[in-house]
Amino acid sequence: MVENVLLGVLFGNGGHSTSYSEGAAKQDAFEYIDFVGLKVSELTMPDELTAVGLRRLELARALAT
């Protein structure tokens, strides 16, 4: 699930961002996830989320772009 938001962080502005290290990008992804109120681990899969959780994931991904 984190990868969904991580892709938004890395590729959100229409191209690859070389200014992010992997650690910094992952930290930003977790900040967006936390901001929308999702409480998950790195290993949580999107199909394990409720409908509300999926909406929050969509919102985190949109904010990351």
For 5-31, write each residue's pLDDT tens digit: 998 888 876 656 667 788 888 999 999
Mean model confidence pLDDT for the chain = 86
List the chain domain ranges. 2-12+21-64
What's the burial of 38, exposed, middle or buried (CB within 10 Å: 0-12/13-18/19+)? buried
Q: What percentage of the chain reaches a pLDDT higher than 90?
A: 43
CA distance 26 to 36: 16
Task: Read off the tokens for 16.
Answer: 């690859």
